[in-house]
Every structure is written in structure tokens, then in C-alpha cells.
Structure 1
């Protein structure tokens, strides 16, 4: 994926491009919410009405605004350096400052961005012809040298520790090949590189500015220098970030309608809810799940649902113990009544999930039918099969039937979900203990094996940053995968995934992926639970923001205008 493992921001932000990103923010729970523009409690929203109401975008904003205040419910960004941005706070802000050679739309489609023309003379070469007249927010022109420097920076500077270096694993060279042209060559074709260029992996910064700022680039002291519709005006640590409209912006069709956007860091649910209801904050992505009832019925704003590439899942954490056995993992999966879990935790704002790749990741292109048909052939685990689950436990006959599931402390939605799973485990003779871990320590579970030594399952919300399933499972499937904690290694799956990742033919890539999916899904490398929708809350004075999860890769704030 651009797929990642998002651990509670602050965590060490993201994983390299194309890797699972697990977002450990509270999942989307709701007993009541607003879909589209109609305010109804979730219990009153039928599945048919919901599907009609889910939207990629909101009504266009037409009027100009002096200021919009936006909340970051996951706290303050750790960095705005594209190479070091991989969590919700940083990505939410950064997409309004920096741009890539391609750009993402609300429906997850990709189109030319800073490159006005993209050609593939062969399947190991991509040529980008840059747009004329593009300038950085300081007025300096964008050059091929800036592009080459920005792309090479992810792998050239080892001390930087770019989260996106794996995006460039098959890249052999990035060179200027004309006055306004950059050519990228590969050792083997890539199925995801062009999509990656619309994410932080492909964002372009000014070479001279980055070199002058050094290690301070992307920090409150060093700032950033990009070409987006906004410029970074001020970052006051612990307080707020202010963006100001870039009046030099090259794309007049996407010029910002708002002069200033101020981001506030409000991680306390009650404080944020009060601020939204009082109109002190104009909007937020991912509002507190505990606040859905009051927000959906407020007269001050609207709560929207949009398509998403997120999924709620449980990650096996050990090579030993009961959860190291795929039969026990499958038993637990079969014991969980996912349909009831979703109904009770998310209302209509999510779907039960049978594998680690959710429907939102299938995209809207011609390969979607391949993914749909393959998913329909997978075992349906949305309803419990206690008899089958007990038989698997009896067959595995684990010496220890007790295990520990970890979650971030204070996440009430996570606790609700794990309590549901705990009851399912008890039904099949397993004993699950829920361990709540402080967020800063919890983030370490994903990168430090010692932190996981007493944990068997980890609760998480994963997501892909673009709509293509081929890369998300990769770090669970390869023997050296960052999140392959059980030691899974299937040569045939590895072959299918490698071939799928390294073909320029989207249909061939999709067909190889679904063959691999049919083989690895029964192993329960993750225990998939639900695929939630994206939530967006905006006050009634503004509109225009994209409602889909693609917002993370978009200049969404530039689309906001007065109603």
C-alpha cells in the first residue's frame, strides 16, 4: 500500500510505502450518526438507505472564507517532512502543503499532478513531463532537480530513516532526462509505483530549502517548502498549526477558498465534542465514536460517511502459544459473531470482514470485479460456527488455552470489541485476557519484539493509503515481513505476491493477488473483524471536503468553502 501500520500518533509513524499501516485510533463506533445530509439515529438508517447515502464528496463549497478551524483528534503531528509523515495528524495537514507527480481523487482514482504527462515507453520505465509554471510557495520554480532530489531522498539518506524507502525497492535510477522531464527506471515492473506517487512517498519538496533546513525540515523550526494550495505560516508546538492560502498556486481550478486554516490538537473526546457543538471548531475527520449520538443530532453540523480502505483486525503476535497455531486462530475467527459485533459496535457504519483486505481497497476501476468475485468465494465468517470452532480447538489441542490480547488504554471502542471477542473465546474453551497498554508503549509493540513477548494478539485498525489490495498483505506474508510475527512462509504465496507486485498489467496483478489471497486467508495471518466507513463532521457554515478516506492524500482543505 501505500499501506501502513498506523500506531497511535505519536507512535513511530508509518511503515514504508506499500506496507501495512495500522491505525490504532479508536475505531468508528456509533449508536447514532448522520449519513448524507439527513440526521437519523443509526438504528433508524436502513442498509439500503445507508448505501445510497455514503458519499465520496460533500456538496461543493462556493463562498470564500477568512478562516476555518479544524481539529486533529489524534494529536499533534510528529513531523511534516514527507519522508517522516505516516500517521493521521501529519498526513491530514501535509496533503494541503505538498504535492506529488500524480494526485488522488476522492474516489481513489489517480490522475497527473505535478507531472502533466506520464508515459511508459516500456514496463520498466516511467517518464514524467513536468507542468510548466509551477512554483514553490516561496515563488521559486519547480525544477526536475527538485523532483529527482525528493524521490532519491527516501533511499539516499540512510540516517533520515524514510518511512517510504521500500516504495523504491525496484527503482534503479531517477534522472533528469530533459529540461522539464524526469525518468524513473526499474529493475522489474511495479504494480503500485504510480499510485504511490500520489502519497507521501512521492511528495516533492524544494531541494535548496531542505538542504538548508537539514534535520529541522518538517519541524516547527524548519517548516516545509512545497507547491501545494497552502503554505505553512506558523506551527506553535503544543497549540496549533496555521496554513495560509498560496496565491501562486498553479491549479486555479483547485485554488483554496479559505485564506487561513488553523489546526488544533484536541485528543480529549469530550473537549472536542463540545468545541464542535459550540462552533469553536469547524470540522474534523474521525470524530470521537462516543460522541456520534450527540453530533448526529446536533443542529450545528453534519456527520458524513464515506468509502474507506480501513479495517479492524487482530494481529497474532507470537511464534509460540495458542495463537501461533492457525487452527486456533481460525477457531477464534469462526467463534466471533461478526455481524452482531458490527451491529452493536458500529451500527450501519461498517461491514463484517472475511479477510484482511476490505472492499474499499478494491477501487473503482475495471479490476474491481476480479476482487469482488474472489471475495465472494472466500469462506463466509460473518456468522459464528461454534461447532466448527470447537472441533478445531480439539484438533489443535493447545497445551495452554489462555492468551492475552493487547489494546491501547482509553480506547473504549477497542475495549468493547475485545470484550465481544473475549466472550466468543470463552464459548470455545479459550480464556482471553484483555491488557490495556498506554499509547506510547503500545506503539512499541509493532516495532519491538521484546514488547510483544507477553502478548498473543494485538488489536488494531489497518489501512491502505490507496485502493489496490496487492501491497497491503505483503508485510504479513514474506518471511522477513515487518508484521509477520508468526513466522509464516509459503513459497507459492510469496511467488504469487512477488509476481503480482511486479507487473505493469493491472488485470494480471489482480488475478495473481486473488490466487494468493485464497491460499493465505485460511491461515488467519490476521483475524479480520470489520471494514468501517470514513467519518467526517463539518459545521453547517462550510462544505466541500471529501468524505472518503482518500482525504489523507488530498488537498482537502482547499476544497472547503462557504455554504
Structure 2
């Protein structure tokens, strides 16, 4: 169920119906669906020998260039590090770069932190940074993060421990992206030696994080081991071994947690939240999140190319019913495809921007009329469905029912669980599809990241949307160093995206985590996809 990257969610806390820190938020499933946002867990009191963690799927690769989904990022967050670091409270700070400067709008200069060692004992150099970043520019690699480098002209070593990135045009978002997998640093020597095998079970990776990649048992688990040579004493691991087990079946994931066979996990199946809430051996946490669930029209040359058809489908959807069935009521309706948490750079202003957007309410009569006006009555669209997670099927069935109610045929095409994430990375995998569901998260504290996805030619512009006015606004926002001014421009982008329904928003959800009572210290927020969440994890007593 692919996503983008994650983003700052301080805005989510300010803009939601209720604030964080244990204040209840109302879901749409009755009182039982009300939930509380918890920003963190209590600090660990001591070390533990081993932890078993659950992932809903096995990573296809641990190559950071392809780390564009929950499973690989959850693992790599503990193993590899970036030039910048995005913290649990979703702030941007130096990481493997000890400092960063922008001498002019078209340059980012990174001073590399001295004394950092890779897991094989070699020392981090400027050459390693250059080699790591340049991989995203190599078309033979086919990096999923290539969009972060769309404005990059060159990456060069400009001092003994200095790397300069020169831009074709100003790009404020680039530095923020250096806190994501786009900014991951790997050993240049290891990359050269590994070749095409880099990130595979047989070859692995060699990074600088608090844990090393110990073993990868195909189809079963990935085990991480504490790295005693880690450079940052504030994140020295308290856990010796972390075993990430792959459990695709949602019920099985819940059962293993309730039985104590697994200590915890992130991104839990909504169908099991009620059972986890009632658990006596652990606690279910709802953390800050930038995740928004949407429908993505993947072929704007087909039936959904007419905005009236997209609008009609959106108007026909029963979002209240979808939230109850797909999210267990633990969600809030979305007004835009980017979650409210993406607005970390302008929390106060964002409330006004969202107030300008109309609520997405169901109107079958109006939707049917739009279909007739568009001459789309009886036309067919094909939507992907999968057993990867229950909500995919629930939403697909809801879209099919909505289409049927307004005279639009929605054919569901089953996609194997292991292949569903390929829909977001391989254009060939999307051939013959008109629509797919996504649970999408941003990677930076800037809404520009999401709306940049809709620029002409962007990797994540899955439907092929193209609007010159939109592109011009995006370029303007990219050059605005003042966060408030940039947010105002992004608000215009948001209005266009909502007007044109490039993506069809459904709802926003909190980040979920279950943690056994014997443990504490793990962050609750979606920052865990980049931050070494297992490092502060330890004994609760």
C-alpha cells in the first residue's frame, strides 16, 4: 500500500479537532472509535537483550534508492543514516552533515561530520557522500527518489570534508529531502563492490546507523544487531538484537502481538485496533501522522481524464461508511490529498487554507448528473484491489458501489500482495488501470513535497497530470526561502489540486503502534520511517 515519504505533523496536532498530549479526538465509528494522540512513550529504564517486531510485508530491497515504502524504511531507519535528520518531533537537524549552508539560492553546502564509521569499520568521507547522492542521478539505477534531485545540476566534493550541491534553479525542499532516503549515505567502496547486488538478501548494506544488518532470511525475517561503534552517544542502542518478522495476514499480526510472540509493530491493520485496545499485555498508541488515504486516477487519458467524471466519482463516495469499514472509525475526513500534518512550516496559516476548501460530501443526484453531462454513462474504469490489507478491498468495493449508483462501471482487478507496491514504482505495472488506492505519507515538514508530486513529469505523477499554471506556481514556491510565503504559494497549489481532483481525498489516519508492556522508549510518530526508532527502545521496568 504505497505511500510517499513522511512529513512533519505538528500541524496535525494544531489543526485537528483536538490537540495532542492525550486529548481525545473523535473518529467516525462512534465513541469506541475516539482516539488520543500520544506524542511519545516514556524513556526506557534499561537495556533488553532482544526485541521481535512485525512488518506487514517483506522489503523488496534494502537499497536506499528504492526505500519508498513502509517495510524497507522501517528497517533502514535503524541501519542507514542521512545528511540531515528528521527527529520524532518532526524537526530538521544536522545528521551525517555536522552543518549545512546556502551561500546563494542555487547552492547547498554540507560539512561532513568527522569520526563517523561505517559498519565495516571504514571512516565516512566526502567521497562517500558524493557517490551516494549521485546514484539518484543515474538513470541506470532508476531511483524512486529521483524527483528530489530534479533541480540538481551537480554534486561535488569541494573540501576535505565538504560536499556542494549545485542547483539548476532554487530548491528549498532539497535540503529537507536530505533527511529522507534521498539523503542516505553509503560507503562508496561497498557500493562499487556490491554492484547490482546492493541491498539484496545475499549482499546487504553497509551504513553508519546504530544497528547493523545481521541476517536476512528470505520470506521470514530481517535481524539487526547493535553497532558498538556508533558515533552518536545519545542514540546508543539499548537493545542488542531486533528481529523484524514478516507477517502479511492482518489477523495473524494481531494474534502474535496479543500472544506476546511479537513485541510490537507500526502501521497496524484497522480491523484489529479494537482487540489491541483491549490488550492487557501491551498498549496501542495513536501517534502524529501525515498519512492521507486517497484514490489516485492513474490514466488521465481514459474515462477519468474528464474532471467531471472524477468529481462525480468523488461525490458518489460514502466517506463516512468507508471510514467506519476501512479505518475502524479511527480517522478524520480529508479535504485535500496532502494530510494536514504536512503543513509544519505554517501551522497557524494552514487552518485558514483548509477552511477555504469545501467539505467532500456525498451527493448521488449531482454526481449522476455530472456523469450524464460528461457522456460517461455506462463507461468503464478499472481499479486495482488486493488482499495486501483489508482496507484496500473495502475502498475498492466502495468505489465500485459508488460507480454503480451513478451509471459508471468500476471493474476491480485483483493484484497480488507482493505486486501491489510495484504499482507505485513501475509504470508497466499500472498498464490497464484507471484507479488505485493509496495510503500516502510525506517525508518533510513542508507541504510543497506532496504537491510537487503533481508537477508535469514527476515520478509520482501517476496519472500524467499536466498544468502549466500549476508548474509555474510550483517553481515559484521552490524558490521561496521564507516559510510563510512558501506556504501561501503551496495553498494555491492545493486549491488547484482539489479543484482538478488530481487525487481524490478520502480520510486521514493517525500513526499506529503497539508496544508490549515490557518495553518503552519507541517514538509513536510516523518519523519512525526515517528516525532510528529502535535505538531508544528498552526496558520499561
> Normalising to structure 1: TM-score of the pair?
0.86
Shift of 1:487: 4.9
Change (3 A) 1:152 1:481: closer
**Alpha-carbon deviations, 1:108-166, whole Å to 9, x = none?**
211111122222222222222222322222332211121122112222x4322222233
Q: How do residues 368-447 of structure 1 correspond to structure 2 at under 5 angstroms? A: 368-381=347-360, 383-409=361-387, 411-443=389-421, 445-446=423-424
The 10-residue stretch of structure 1 (454-463 or 113-122) with the greater mean CA deviation from structure 2: 454-463
1:29 is matched with none
Give unmatched runs, 5+ long, in structure 2: 8-20
Q: How do residues 121-520 of structure 1 correspond to structure 2 at under 5 angstroms? A: 121-155=103-137, 157-363=138-344, 365=345, 367-381=346-360, 383-409=361-387, 411-443=389-421, 445-446=423-424, 452=430, 454-478=432-456, 480-482=457-459, 484=461, 487-520=464-497
**Alpha-carbon deviations, 1:357-379, whole Å to 9, x = none?**
1112112x4x2233331121012
The 10-residue stretch of structure 1 (277-286 or 398-407) with the greater mean CA deviation from structure 2: 398-407
1:44 aligns with 2:31: yes
2:52 is matched with 69
**Alpha-carbon deviations, 1:313-366, whole Å to 9, x = none?**
112233455422111211221222323432443244211112211112112x4x
**Alpha-carbon deviations, 1:442-498, whole Å to 9, x = none?**
4554466665554332222222222322132334341x3445465533221111012
**Distance across 1 between alignment mates of 2:79 and 2:218:** 18
Change (3 A) 1:541 1:486: closer
1:95 is matched with 77
Change (3 A) 1:129 1:401: same
Partner SS for 2:489: helix
> Normalising to structure 2: TM-score of the pair?
0.89
**Distance across 2 between alignment mates of 1:483 and 1:127:** 27
Shift of 1:98: 1.1
The 10-residue stretch of structure 1 (419-428 or 287-296) with the greater mean CA deviation from structure 2: 419-428
**Distance across 2 between alignment mates of 1:132 and 1:437:** 47
Change (3 A) 1:292 1:322: same
Change (3 A) 1:487 1:84: closer
**Distance across 2 between alignment mates of 1:280 and 1:413:** 25
2:17 is matched with none
1:86 aligns with 2:68: yes
Partner SS for 1:400: coil
Change (3 A) 1:104 1:481: closer
Q: How do residues 48-59 of structure 1 correspond to structure 2 at under 5 angstroms? A: 50=35, 53-59=36-42
Contact 1:191-1:506 at 8 Å conserved across structures: no
**Distance across 2 between alignment mates of 1:250 and 1:486:** 43
1:538 is matched with 515
Shift of 1:204: 0.9
Shift of 1:440: 4.5
Change (3 A) 1:362 1:518: same
**RMSD after superposition:** 2.8
Shift of 1:397: 3.1
Contact 1:189-1:504 at 8 Å conserved across structures: no
Change (3 A) 1:300 1:139: same
Shift of 1:409: 3.5
1:523 is matched with 500
Shift of 1:555: 0.4
Aligned pair count? 525
Contact 2:271-2:327 at 8 Å conserved across structures: no
1:28 is matched with none
2:11 is matched with none
Contact 1:126-1:185 at 8 Å conserved across structures: yes
Shift of 1:230: 0.9
Among candidates 521, 526, 539, match of residue 549 of structure 1 = 526
Contact 2:403-2:410 at 8 Å conserved across structures: yes
The 10-residue stretch of structure 1 (535-544 or 121-130) with the greater mean CA deviation from structure 2: 121-130
Change (3 A) 1:232 1:318: closer
Give unmatched runs, 5+ long, in structure 1: 1-5, 8-13, 20-34
**Alpha-carbon deviations, 1:1-46, whole Å to 9, x = none?**
xxxxx64xxxxxx88x899xxxxxxxxxxxxxxx9699x9974357
